Structure 1
Amino acid sequence: MAELFLGGVVDPATHDRTGDEIRIDTDKFTTHGVIVGMTGSGKTGLGVVLLEEVLTSGLPTLVIDPKGDLTNLCLTFPGLQATDFRPWIDEAQASAAGESPDEFAASQAELWTKGLLGWGFTAQNIQQLRDRTDFTIYTPGSQSGVPVNIVGSLEAPADTSDAEIVGDEIEGYVTGLLALVGIDADPLSSREHILLSNLINHAWSQGRSLDLPTLVGMVGNPPIRKLGVFELDQFFPPDDRMGLAMKLNGLLASPSFAAWAEGPSLDIQSMLYDENGRGRCAIVTTAHLSDEERQFVTSLVLGKLVTWMRRQSGTTDLRAMLYMDEVAGYLPPTANPPTKKPIMTLMKQARAFGVGVVLSTQNPVDIDYKALSNAGTWMIGRLSTERDKARLLEGLTSAAGGVDIGAVDDTISGLGKREFVLRVPGKDATSVFTTRWAMSYLRGPMTRDQISSLMADARAEAATSTATIPTAPAVADGAAAAGSATPAAAEPELGDDESTVMPEVTDSIPVRYVDVAAPWIADVGGSERGNRLQAAVVARINLRYDETKADLVHDEEFECVITPLDDHVDVTQLVAVDYDERDLRTAPPTESPVYVMTDAKLANKTFFSGIERDLKDHLYRTMEVEIPANTELKLYGRPGEEADAFEARCLTLANDRADEEIAKLRDKYEAKVDKLRDQIEAAEDRVDVLEEQASSKRNSELLSTAGSLLGGLLGGKSRSSMLGKLGTAAGRRGRTNASKERLDAAENKVDRLQEDLVELEADLADDITEIDARWMSTAKEITTLSVGLEKSDISVAQLSLAWLPVD
């Protein structure tokens, strides 16, 4: 962690320095910063001082400079001599000061020397800054500084696993590109935006980089067939696509656009660090561009920065700083230019990766304060209107709820030049400070010639990576007739095995061209980027599989590609594909196709009839379909039937067979059950009768005996008479016991019969269980039946010579 020395504290009332210094730790800027001030407030000087401090600490900076003021960071002169200042002074300022250019240069050298000494800075500090970093001014679309190859900025990311990162980068590029041709495209609803985004994503998902000419060519001849759930031609008809391609091609055809393809590719890592890992100061100046071009370039830079940032490890200290000057047009409160989304992303997420964002503006009313509310460090200078101040205080309130907004309001109103109200994260109290003297010579925006002179060495070093715009590929099938502004391609340099003239092909065979959108193109060795055409045979063959015992008659279409072709074609090397008519075009993919020569006798009809014969023989020997089979059930599946589905059919049939066999048990068990039930009913009836008889006899015998004996006893009968009664009573008791035994026997018989019924039911349960288990086992005895072809069941429906694009 380092301290950034920005200036000294001043008394807001007297505007005198108090002697205290303003030093802010670098980690405070991971929560981002905002610099606000009207023209003449010293805002640019504060930004330069901040960047000098960051660079002196060894950290890299990426500076987006729409006005050209921050190119002054390159004007550091350790000698502080008049001759150092002379090439860079503004002679208009010298004239206004009533001095000659040499005199003005001398006075500027003296002014800077004294100004730096007043803050304790010497030539040694300037030299330290120059030793710690190197400065590069990038001028996209211009050769004045180091140009940037914007056309080549469609390089595929090294890691495409994070769809959000890839999507954001694509969205920024496409939105900016369409703005250049006057199309205000919404990423969610614009056909143009959706098509271009899908084309880029298609290439990147395959690890392929693009350039703008290639992308334009893909618009007319896309390598994709569907967008969402709709066919491409339905969603975006060919004529409409050609209109978009024409607009984009007009951009490419513009002579002034050639500069956009020169210089190194837009690569954040190389812009921020040299090969030894030393931090750099990359100044991307867009002062020479139109508003649309500035948006395009800035959105690309920011999109690349977001992608680079998300690949970094987490850190709590500052790793790098993004400084954006005059951000008002790039972060509006309501509109959504292509720059807004990446700025919002950086403000919300960059802290975790140690990337600090500092936004500078003189018009806070034109800024989305929700973005500003993510900033922790605020440096507020003089403002031009009360409306600006109100909007600024609104954002500050969201960012720092504990700050006394009323006091800040009063303080802002009394600020002098180069004075700022400072609020740092973690402190509610604010302070007023004045910026220290900048080591860089603040001469204002440099001319193109000055930038060119300053960057001569850097531009020469970058010249080795300078790219030129390749010719956009022509669009086949009517593209030329539609009228293309693409310059005619130069005659290609041909190899020994190449020709621009298609070899002669027999009239009996149709000639086609494989479309780059054919989904199987890579499977047969082709390439959607290929610029050479290799001969191939494409065949569609009707096959009939016939098996009587399986009651099977199954027809199939078999389609294949055979390539490369030679005087003898080995059909065993065929590649099975699934093609439709759209995959084979009638016109070549370019206006100047290059054909790979072959020894195949394409002009002879017998050459193709031999291929047809060999194909039939090969398919007869090798092709078969396999169907599931259950021979016990005599059940056979069908080609393509899922194993689970066939097993379910087997189980259903086995259940039916089991039900049939179980039904046959009914006759066997029904008679036995009926007999037992009749016997049980009869036995139960006997029990009921015996119970009733026994009960009646017991009652009558008891009453009779009890009446006789008791009557005799109570009636005064003689002893002999009563003894006679005793015999009768004892006999009756014996008869009662015999009735009880007969009843017990009857009940036991009922129990035995019921036990017999239970045993019979158990036997039935065993039989049913055995039948069910046996049929369920049979249902799972599934095998595979292979069904081959008869030669008479093979017929070639289509045979074409197709030219396949290859690398």
Structure 2
Amino acid sequence: MDRKEVFFNHITEGYKTKGDYLVFGSAILDGETVKDAFVKVPLKTLNRHGLIAGATGTGKTKSLQVMAENLSEKGIPVLLMDIKGDLSGLAQASPGHAKIDERHEAIGLPFDAKKFPVELLTISEQNGVRLRATVSEFGPVLLSRILDLTATQTGIVSIIFKYCDDHKLPLLDLKDFRKVLQYATAEGKNEIQAEYGRISTASTGAILRKIIEIDQQGGDLFFGERSFDVQDLVRTNEEGKGIISILRLTDIQDKPKLFSTFMLQLLAEVYSTFPEQGDSGKPELVIFIDEAHLIFDEASKALLSQIESIIKLIRSKGIGIFFVTQNPKDVPEDVLAQLGLKIQHALRAFTAKDRKAIKLASENYPDSEYYDVDETLTQLGIGEAFISVLNEKGRPTPLAATMMRAPMSRMDVLSTSEIKELIENSRLFYKYDEAIDRESAYEILNDKIEKINEKEEVEARKKETEKKSSTSSKRRASTRMNPILKVVTSATFIRGVLGILKRVL
């Protein structure tokens, strides 16, 4: 056998699978695509999470698109974080191109243009199905970690939640939480201290500043009702295709706190509500987090620890999470260690720092007698990537430089009219479009404060009346003559005294 035949057997044997699978493309040897040497991943291992990395313009987004399409074809729902705004084209079929046909001929796969069922979601001011969550759904621990609070401040948040639970004060949006904090250091200070202990004004002030930070990044749009039901992420259409939910985040890059808040809440909600299923035949839901560094850049140690814990545990719920970023080092090592599937597009070496990053990236992949990984990483073309996955027994497959298949859907954004039509035909849009502002802690405490103020005004008026009455009485008493003085100063008394004096004289 020549080198190419040995390599073909090496790849096909290494990527053999008994269960259902996704095909990424065909392996490359010495710069040439080896037809039918398919690189694929078993569906049952997609809950082991993954990474799609590579320099700008190397094809990361298209790899994400290919995976989303093929998952949908297999009846697996997908959630995509669309930071750059270039994934909406999944809702329309590819117009095709000669270069696509040429690529698929080299791979050994037929090309079939298709569109996929898409739902557009939003947590910002963009149009789409509105995703909201209440403050109560976060709970004191998760909210404190998101806000990066100290132990003392976390204790105060726990007291606030307990007070609201005990007094039936719903915490729905940020204005509810702010109102309770303000009440705890003003009108309700004595009441809360009597039940739960002293609350520091300095600490509540610090918590308020953290709440305002999230509020300014658009938290007022995210926190509230109607809360989004995560079960709406795991739907299929009438043809049995998984719904691809695209979260539109093009205006969120300068709001990392809001993005990380949403992501952590979503993962925590999915983990707490989805049933345990272990390693089943295919995942329940696959989530792709584009521009993943936005989650980690400003995350505190406590928040990173929470993310790491969820990543470890959530796979037992049948959830696969894929991080998409430029360099693997954008993802913390403890999280990176949990990722079973890795798709590494080209990295560019322009500086010594770049070369060091490439060296570190190459160490994430198994050794291969067919590739100099460091060198090949800089030479991969657009739409080519190193791939390593876990097989059905949980073992890493052979490293394969891969010619990636092309997306079956449009590799471009939808027009404004197409987006409008997609949203108008959405059942979920009308379910979540209405913002509900029912009576909650804000309104209840405002009423309570108003009654307190009214009572204080009545008491103040009463005291003022009593004061005026007392002053008036004193004035009357001062003008009323003393009986003895009255006798002494009477005319009869004076005349008598004068008569006595005359007789004496």
> So what's the TM-score if we normalise by structure 1?
0.45
C-alpha separation in 1, matches of 2:213 and 2:385: 48
Q: Check the 8 A contact 2:54/2:347 in 1, yes or no.
A: yes
Q: Does 1:467 align with 2:423?
A: no
Q: How does 1:116-131 map to 2 (within 5 A)?
A: 118=105, 119-123=109-113, 126=114, 130=116
Q: How does 1:236-251 map to 2 (within 5 A)?
A: 236-237=200-201, 241=204, 248=211
Q: 2:466 maps to which residue?
A: none
Q: 1:370 maps to which residue?
A: 334
Q: Does 1:37 align with 2:54?
A: yes
Task: Give the letter for the 1:355 counterpart.
Answer: I
1:204-251 Cα offsets, whole Å, 9 max, x none, are 799986302333332234599999x998563423x7637855885898
C-alpha separation in 2, matches of 1:255 and 1:298: 15
Residue 201 of structure 1: how far off its partner (Å):
6.1
Residue 404 of structure 1: how far off its partner (Å):
7.1
Q: How does 1:12-23 map to 2 (within 5 A)?
A: 13-23=30-40
Q: 2:136 maps to which residue?
A: 154
C-alpha separation in 2, matches of 1:279 and 1:288: 27
Q: 1:590 maps to which residue?
A: 449
Aligned residue for 2:130, secondary structure, equals: coil
Shift in alpha-carbon separation, 1:20–1:113, aligned structure 2, 3 A:
closer
C-alpha separation in 1, matches of 2:348 and 2:220: 41
Q: Does 1:266 align with 2:251?
A: no
C-alpha separation in 2, matches of 1:31 and 1:270: 23
Aligned residue for 1:266, secondary structure, equals: coil
Shift in alpha-carbon separation, 1:20–1:138, aligned structure 2, 3 A:
same
Q: Does 1:421 align with 2:386?
A: yes
Aligned residue for 1:590, secondary structure, equals: helix
Q: 1:306 maps to which residue?
A: 271
Q: Check the 8 A contact 1:261/1:468 in 2, yes or no.
A: no
- Name structure 1 gaps, 5 residues minimum: 81-107, 156-165, 179-184, 475-488, 490-528, 532-587, 596-807
Which residue of the other structure, out of 456, 463, 466, is the alignment partner of 2:424?
456
1:48-101 Cα offsets, whole Å, 9 max, x none, are 10111111111122222332233333x323xx6xxxxxxxxxxxxxxxxxxxxx
Q: 1:775 maps to which residue?
A: none
Q: Check the 8 A contact 1:266/1:301 in 2, yes or no.
A: no
Which residue of the other structure, out of 425, 428, 438, is the alignment partner of 2:407?
438
1:245-288 Cα offsets, whole Å, 9 max, x none, are 58858987x89766446774232222223699974322222221
Aligned residue for 1:360, secondary structure, equals: strand
How many residue pairs were aligned? 419
1:84-132 Cα offsets, whole Å, 9 max, x none, are xxxxxxxxxxxxxxxxxxxxxxxx5556985797541325xx26xx3xx
Shift in alpha-carbon separation, 1:449–1:372, aligned structure 2, 3 A:
farther
C-alpha separation in 1, matches of 2:48 and 2:212: 43
Q: 1:210 maps to which residue?
A: 171
1:300-356 Cα offsets, whole Å, 9 max, x none, are 2233233234x4332344232121111123235x95278634431243223333222
Task: Give the letter for the 1:330 counterpart.
Answer: I
Which residue of the other structure, out of 105, 120, 124, is the alignment partner of 1:137?
120
1:138-188 Cα offsets, whole Å, 9 max, x none, are 1112251112224x3634xxxxxxxxxx8xx64444444x4xxxxxx33x4
Q: Check the 8 A contact 1:34/1:375 in 2, yes or no.
A: yes
Q: Check the 8 A contact 1:29/1:356 in 2, yes or no.
A: yes
1:5-26 Cα offsets, whole Å, 9 max, x none, are 2112222x33434332222111
C-alpha separation in 1, matches of 2:258 and 2:365: 36
Aligned residue for 1:352, secondary structure, equals: helix
Q: 1:353 maps to which residue?
A: 317
Q: Check the 8 A contact 2:83/2:250 in 1, yes or no.
A: yes
C-alpha separation in 2, matches of 1:47 and 1:383: 17
Aligned residue for 2:27, secondary structure, equals: strand
Q: 1:285 maps to which residue?
A: 248
Which residue of the other structure, out of 18, 22, 39, is the alignment partner of 1:4?
22
Shift in alpha-carbon separation, 1:136–1:116, aligned structure 2, 3 A:
farther
CA RMSD of aligned residues (A): 4.3
Q: 1:684 maps to which residue?
A: none
Identity %: 18
Q: Check the 8 A contact 1:66/1:287 in 2, yes or no.
A: yes
C-alpha separation in 1, matches of 2:161 and 2:262: 18
C-alpha separation in 2, matches of 1:64 and 1:299: 13
Q: Check the 8 A contact 1:382/1:415 in 2, yes or no.
A: yes
Which residue of the other structure, out of 53, 67, 88, is the alignment partner of 1:71?
88
Structure number with larger C-alpha Rg: 1
Aligned residue for 1:297, secondary structure, equals: helix
Residue 45 of structure 1: how far off its partner (Å):
0.3
C-alpha separation in 1, matches of 2:169 and 2:20: 41
Shift in alpha-carbon separation, 1:201–1:240, aligned structure 2, 3 A:
closer
